[in-house]
Amino acid sequence: MVVEPKIRGFICTTAHPEGCAQNVANQVAYVKSKKEIKGTRRALIIGSSTGYGLSTRIAAAFGCGADTIGVAFERPAAGSRTATAGWYNTAAFQKLASREGFYAKSIMGDAFSDETKQKTIDLIKKDLGSVDLVVYSLAAPRRTTPDGVTYSSVIKPIGSDYTSKTIDMRTHALATASVEAATEAEIEGTIKVMGGEDWQLWIKALSDAGVLDKGAITLAYSYIGPKVTHAIYTEGTIGRAKKDVEDSANKINGMLTAICGKAYVAVNKAVVTQASSAIPAVPLYTSIVFKVMKEKGIHEDCIEQMQRMLAEKIYVSSPATDECGRLRLDDLEMRDDVQQEVSRVWDIVNDGNLSKVTDLDGYWSDFYRLFGFGVDKVDYAADVDIETEIADLV
């Protein structure tokens, strides 16, 4: 069938198999254009199908030559409904990795469950023996904990309500977003879902099963961003969860002392992903920072950062961390000259100059690209088979 984008709010309910495959191929080509990285040999990526997790997996496999196991939560096509973008991305990754002779298997399941953790451990034991890198890159709206309680994550300010300029994801126009302050239960729920507890559970399970290499590294991702989004992000519910991720890194470092392992939080740059488009004010900020960074020639998407992280921040003689022990991939975004220009534009942006002073087109083209639309070399008028199988799905 001919597949077209169908947008509902900040989500696209269709995905294009060939567009997604081309996106993955483009990321692979980028990594292969860079020098080989002497890094991970066997990596486990939790949240491997889209965004930062997918790019880390691509950089690990095609940059370091690593065998990879990916865990994600994606669904296949059903009737005339396309599969999710992450499903098509995973199918494309598996194909390209096996073509180059890399071991690559994927598990589709709820990463928060004990069952998926055990399945992953069994697979590592059977096929790889152990892993030297574990990347935790989940972005999820809810989590059922091992005791059967389901928590939801919300993006809300803490203490007082929040009102900000934003982009209306339906009309693409400038709008005002108002969000009520979170309740205590909502703060707790967001920490349960997006905090570090499940990362700790993964590392404990992998460590108890003896499948972590001596010197193994584990990573989780965070975001800090500019002052204009602090109330809704860093100082809001999600920021609390990210603080919990940082606290968890310290606890995991304690757990890994016996094997001389290391946990890092990598603070990444704002990019367009399925998770980030749901945050009020962030699409507007992202459109502004894209314009500023593109003009300065320092714009990056997920793959450029994840390649740079492995090549320049982690697999170097002394990992490049900030004063809190974090890896900073947002170093270019947070540069003073970039942030000063972003604040200037933030103050003057209005309905009349929105498309001139921001990179709104770039934002939307990245958004459509997430779902495989608007990708060069893809014939969108052609019929495509939407039922794509993932090779080596466990």
Query: Which residues carry out catalysis?
Result: 233
Choose, by CB under 6 A, the member of 10, 25, 103, 110 that binds ligand NAD: 110
Q: How many CB atoms lie within 10 A of CB 168?
A: 13
Nearer to ligand NAD, 200 or 273 (CB): 273
- How far apart CA 210 and CA 254 sit, in angstroms, is 16
Q: Write down the residue that tokens 């947002």 correspond to.
A: 330
Closest approach of Cβ 72 to ligand NAD, in Å? 4
Scanning the chain, the segments in alpha helix (DSSP H) are 17-32, 51-58, 64, 85-99, 114-123, 184-194, 197-208, 237-255, 282-295, 302-308, 336-348, 354-357, 360-370
Closest approach of Cβ 277 to ligand NAD, in Å? 8
Binding status of residue 223 toward ligand NAD by CB under 6 A: yes
Q: How many residues bind ligand NAD (CB under 6 A)?
A: 29
Q: Which stretch binds ligand NAD (CB under 6 A): 27-35, 109-117, 148-156, 161-169?
A: 109-117
- How far apart CA 342 and CA 285 sit, in angstroms, is 8
Binding status of residue 287 toward ligand NAD by CB under 6 A: no
Binding status of residue 392 toward ligand NAD by CB under 6 A: no
Binding status of residue 270 toward ligand NAD by CB under 6 A: yes
CB 24 within 8 A of CB 93: yes
Tokens found for residue 156: 């809300």
Binding status of residue 275 toward ligand NAD by CB under 6 A: yes
- How far apart CA 201 and CA 54 sit, in angstroms, is 22
Q: Which stretch binds ligand NAD (CB under 6 A): 57-65, 138-146, 169-177, 351-359?
A: 138-146
Binding status of residue 53 toward ligand NAD by CB under 6 A: yes
Q: Which stretch binds ligand NAD (CB under 6 A): 272-280, 291-299, 308-316, 344-352?
A: 272-280
Q: How far is CA 171 from CA 9, 10, 184, 291, in A?
A: 9, 11, 33, 20
Closest approach of Cβ 344 to ligand NAD, in Å? 22
Choose, by CB under 6 A, the member of 71, 131, 154, 179 that binds ligand NAD: 71
Residue nearest ligand NAD, CB atom distance: 51
Rg of the chain taking only CA atoms, in angstroms = 20
Closest approach of Cβ 212 to ligand NAD, in Å? 20
Q: How many CB atoms lie within 10 A of CB 261?
A: 21
Find the binding residues for ligand NAD in span 111-130 (CB under 6 A). Answer: 111-112
Q: Write down the residue that tokens 């499948």 correspond to.
A: 211
DSSP, collapsed to helix, strand or coil, labels residue 9 as: coil
Q: Which stretch binds ligand NAD (CB under 6 A): 19-27, 205-213, 218-226, 355-363?
A: 218-226
Choose, by CB under 6 A, the member of 30, 52, 88, 202 that binds ligand NAD: 52
Closest approach of Cβ 50 to ligand NAD, in Å? 4
Q: Which stretch binds ligand NAD (CB under 6 A): 15-23, 57-65, 131-139, 386-394?
A: 131-139
DSSP, collapsed to helix, strand or coil, labels residue 312 as: helix
- How far apart CA 342 and CA 261 sit, in angstroms, is 38
Choose, by CB under 6 A, the member of 22, 27, 40, 48 that binds ligand NAD: 48
Binding status of residue 72 toward ligand NAD by CB under 6 A: yes
Binding status of residue 47 toward ligand NAD by CB under 6 A: yes
DSSP, collapsed to helix, strand or coil, labels residue 68 as: strand
CB 286 within 8 A of CB 272: yes
- How far apart CA 133 and CA 202 sit, in angstroms, is 12
Q: Which residues bind ligand NAD (CB under 6 A)?
A: 47-53, 71-74, 86, 110-112, 137-140, 221-223, 268, 270-271, 273-276
